[in-house]
Amino acid sequence: MLDLSLFLIIAGVFLVATLYLGWLGYRRTVSNEQFMVGGRKMNPIILSLSYGATFLSTSAIIGFGGVSAQLGMGTIWLMALNILLGLIVAFLVFGKRTRKIGKELGALSFPDFLGRRFNSPFIQIFSAGIIIVGMPIYAAAVLLGGVNFIDASLDINRDIALLLLSVIVAIYVAYGGIVAVMYNDALQGAILFFGMILLLVFTYSTLGGVTAANQALTDMAVDPGVGALAADGMTGWTSFPSFGSPLWYTFVTTFILGVGIGALAQPQLAVRYMTADSSRSLNKAMMVGGLFILVVVGSAYTVGPLTNVYFFNEFGKTSMQYAENTDMVIPMFVNLVFENVFLGDIFVALFLLALLCAALSTLSSLLHTMGSSAGYDVWRYLHARRIGVDDPMTVLRGKDGGLPKAMRASRICTMLMMILVVVITYYMPLSIIAKATAVFMGFTAAALLPAYTHAIFSRVPNARAAKFSIVIGSLAWSLWAFFIHTSTSVNIGLCRALFGKDSLASLPWTKIDPLVIGLPISVLVLLTFLLVDHVRQKGQPSTA
């Protein structure tokens, strides 16, 4: 167990820096535009570190690190998709168009962007509702990851740890806005970057070097520890699950596709594009972000499987046999591996700080997105209706968002959303961090990605097509998640309550992620309405 006094000294220095950056953000936030998108002039280095730290949290390191310990190095394919889709395609294809159009429209949030682009209050409120309802689960998973690591490393009550993390984040997000969030993201991302390098180096050093460690992991393919998953298709920790097996469907459709594709429609990431002052800034940010993602997730997805070698050598057990929970594999491994090295307590304290940075950076970005959606998007609309405005879009399109009080509403909603996240954290089941991340990312992709793509690439976006795509995509994803996909239906419990069983289907359908069903349906609905409206317009008589 790490010496608490040592960590408190290091954490105290970090806390002072965090609060100072939060204060800087508060000083530089006097308008809705500054609160929401930082005045559209964010430094590309800060932008890249903020994007990376928001994208990769304790979900990637603890959640997916633990999943890779259980299922093997196949998660490296997720890293490749993170870089290809979540960074290169995201910045070059989606980012530049979002920045340009968002600035022209004066959009200050992701729902605001969609609402203004389609000139539709319904789309704005519905997309904000998706964030308000779905994102707290993702945020709770991120918060749980930080709390789990503190629990494994320090003799601190979990409730106290949960309260401290929540209060710190809520304060600087509510008052400093996106500026404080991104400044702290940059600091936290830099600490996380070097912390993951440190973890990778010490892991290979402890296991006898790169070649010896990788060979030992490959040789463990014949160990009985694999047997528990062999029936589901596992072939070893350095090979991919057998094609078409239940494990293959989970690996590919939930983790790789769910998180890989889902990154393109993440509201908290899309807002980052709108903070850039130019396309050139996005290019610079993409280059730095690529190195960041490669190091952070590459280290996590490599160390995860290698923990099996360590636990088997030390205790005769695989990682899951020892930890009994994917979310505790990395925390337990870090504490044990650094325990016997020179200055081990200092290294554990620094790495604990790095993991807390991963939690704080993503949690703050999610909290800012949720608070903004509730306060800026929904509250403004409801206020416009209350004061008798027939067309709320006339208010929503006004200078600086139309209502100066929207920033105050966003701050209040930020605090309320933090309370909701804390409550949800207490009800999160075991081994849930990676799954909760994949669920939210898959849901947003199925609901919003087709309409978002249409919004940035169409010269005349079709609001009717976008509405039906968003609604039916959301419905298709939800029905599959609630009644077919056992990984989600078991936790939701609705299918069992209504029909007395966890799924209305059988293998392999029960292992196919809702994204694989919901996203194609959402795309098909969008294209169908675009075609119908195009044919209808061509059939109308000319007025010339």
Give pLDDT tens digits for 257-289.
888 888 888 998 888 899 888 888 888 888 888
What's the gap between Cα 59 and its chain centre? 7
Query: What are residue 276's DSSP bridge partners?
Result: 42
Query: What are residue 42's DSSP bridge partners?
Result: 276
Question: Nearest Cα to 258, choosing from 525, 502, 488, 503?
Answer: 488
Question: Nearest Cα to 281, choosing from 488, 451, 41, 466?
Answer: 41
DSSP code of 276? B
Question: What's the average pLDDT block by block, 10 residues per block, for the chain (544 residues)?
Answer: 69 82 80 78 85 77 85 84 86 91 89 92 93 91 80 75 84 83 84 86 90 89 58 81 86 84 88 88 86 87 92 88 85 78 65 77 87 86 71 53 66 90 86 81 94 94 96 96 92 90 91 94 96 81 51
The predicted pLDDT at position 523 comes to 97
Phi-psi region of 269 (alpha: psi -120 to 50; beta: other; left: phi over 0): alpha
Q: What angle do CA 14, 16, 22 make, to 5 degrees?
A: 105
86, 286 contact by CB (below 8 A): no
Question: Nearest Cα to 22, choosing from 193, 195, 186?
Answer: 186
Give phi and psi for 447, each to the nearest 5.
-85, -40
Give Cβ neighbours of residue 163 (< 8 Å, ≥ 6 apart).
Answer: 422
Q: Which residue shows structure tokens 């919004």?
A: 455
The predicted pLDDT at position 452 comes to 96
Give phi and psi for 276, each to the nearest 5.
-75, 150
Q: What angle do CA 530, 532, 534 make, to 5 degrees?
A: 65
447, 441 contact by CB (below 8 A): no
CA distance 521 to 510: 18
Alpha helices per DSSP H over 225-378:
227-230, 246-249, 257-262, 267-274, 279-315, 319-323, 326-339, 344-372
DSSP code of 541? P
CA distance 142 to 122: 30
**CA dihedral in degrees (406, 412, 413, 419; nearest 10)?**
170
What is the C-alpha end-to-end distance of the chain, expressed in Å?
81
Question: Nearest Cα to 334, choosing from 191, 150, 140?
Answer: 150
The predicted pLDDT at position 482 comes to 94
The predicted pLDDT at position 400 comes to 45
CA distance 339 to 330: 14
The predicted pLDDT at position 224 comes to 47
The predicted pLDDT at position 517 comes to 95
Helix (H, G, I), strand (E, B) or coil at 432: coil
The predicted pLDDT at position 399 comes to 47
Domains of the chain and CATH, by start: 4-433 (1.20.1730.10)
The predicted pLDDT at position 332 comes to 85
Q: What's the full length of the chain, in residues?
A: 544
What's the gap between Cα 207 and its chain centre? 31
CA-derived radius of gyration, the chain: 23
The predicted pLDDT at position 544 comes to 41
CA distance 291 to 311: 30
